[in-house]
Amino acid sequence: MSKDTPKMICPKCRVEMNHHAEKLVDPVNPKEAAQVDPALGGLIEEMHCCPGCGTTESRRTR
Ligand SMILES: [Zn+2]
């Protein structure tokens, strides 16, 4: 996990969300395929959870 990665902000509460998990996902389009980590064979998707309302959001790392 990179320390300079900006925190995700909850769309409802506008608070910083907690990064609680990562999973390996397959690329779904050519743009994502170009970003695949050859060592992993996929893309890392970060899962973030809001401490306020419990909403979960995910995003792809690059
Ligand atoms: Zn929230």
Tell me: the pLDDT tens digits for 5-54?
789 999 999 999 999 999 999 999 999 999 898 999 999 999 999 999 99
pLDDT at 6: 87
Measured in Å, residue 48 CA sits from the centre of ligand 1 at: 11
Distances (CA, A) of 45 to 13, 19, 22, 37: 22, 11, 6, 12
Residue spans per domain, the chain: 1-62
Residue 33 Cα to ligand 1 middle (Å): 31
Check whether 1 has a pLDDT greater than 60: no
With cut-offs at 50, 70 and 90, classify the pLDDT of residue 3. low
Q: Quote the ligand 1 centre to 15 CA distance (angstroms).
A: 7
Residues, Cβ < 5 Å to ion ligand 1:
10, 12-13, 50, 52-53, 55
